[in-house]
């Protein structure tokens, strides 16, 4: 039974990663939802971290190759981006024992906020766009609000798709056969 669960989780993760390569609005990607889903549903805790981070790395490299610039994504913000998704996996761990629509929605919202706060702190810290003052940090967060809307929408849509497909698969594919 675990083999089929693992295979299904892997297929869903691969589909989400590939969907990142399809043209989309900025920050409307599956990686946040994938990190949450992986933390909640992956049979292995190590695999829960490996899956979304590997999907992010592979899709970063794929996007860089498509753009013809292999330096894309290889910058000082990587620890903030990858670290925020690792933290979202930890949010997913809290869903392992209680996956309800409300808890998934709350965790998805928390993951979006976490990504926004962590990555934009990195932008403020390492870019020359904002002064290294409290006002500069607030200006950085304010400038990022349009991207936050897309992060919220992307995480909500992809979380609904991943967790919805998983719930359906648990009932139809992974449930043991019942005999009368």
Residue 177 maps to a domain: no
Residue 163 maps to a domain: yes
pLDDT one-digit tens code per residue, 91-146: 999 999 889 999 999 999 999 999 999 999 999 999 899 999 999 999 999 999 99
Residue 179 maps to a domain: no
Residue 105 maps to a domain: yes
pTM (two decimals): 0.84
Asked if 88 and 35 count as a contact pair (C-beta separation under 8 A), the reply is yes
pLDDT one-digit tens code per residue, 45-95: 998 898 888 888 887 777 777 777 656 555 788 899 999 999 999 999 999
Residue 84 maps to a domain: yes
Count of domains for the chain: 1
Residue 180 maps to a domain: no
Write down the pLDDT at residue 180: 42
Tokens standing for residue 8: 């299904």
What's the rounded mean pLDDT across residues 139-163? 94
pLDDT one-digit tens code per residue, 115-128: 999 999 999 999 89
Residue 165 maps to a domain: yes
Write down the pLDDT at residue 23: 77
What's the rounded mean pLDDT across residues 9-36? 81
Residue 135 maps to a domain: yes
Asked if 84 and 123 count as a contact pair (C-beta separation under 8 A), the reply is no
Range(s) of the domain holding residue 113: 2-172
Write the DSSP assignment of 50-90 as a string of letters. Answer: HHHHHHHHHHHHHHHHHHT-TTTT-STTHHHHHHHHHHHHH
């Amino acid at each position: 039974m675990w083999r089929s669960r693992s295979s299904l989780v892997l297929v869903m993760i691969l589909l989400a990663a590939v969907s990142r390569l399809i043209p989309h609005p900025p920050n409307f990607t599956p990686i946040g939802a994938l990190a949450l889903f992986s933390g909640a549903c992956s049979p292995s805790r190590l695999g829960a971290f490996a899956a979304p981070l590997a999907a992010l790395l592979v899709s970063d490299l794929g996007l860089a190759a498509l753009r013809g610039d292999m330096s894309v994504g290889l910058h000082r913000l990587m620890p903030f981006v990858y670290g925020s998704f690792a933290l979202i996996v930890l949010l997913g761990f809290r869903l392992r024992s209680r996956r309800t629509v409300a808890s998934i929605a709350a965790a998805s919202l928390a993951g979006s906020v976490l990504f926004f706060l962590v990555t934009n702190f990195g932008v403020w810290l390492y870019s020359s766009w904002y002064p290294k003052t409290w006002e500069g940090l607030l200006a950085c967060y304010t400038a990022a609000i349009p991207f936050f809307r897309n992060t919220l929408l992307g995480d909500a849509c992809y979380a609904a798709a991943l967790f919805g497909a998983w719930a359906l698969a648990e009932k139809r594919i992974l449930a043991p056969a019942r005999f009368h």
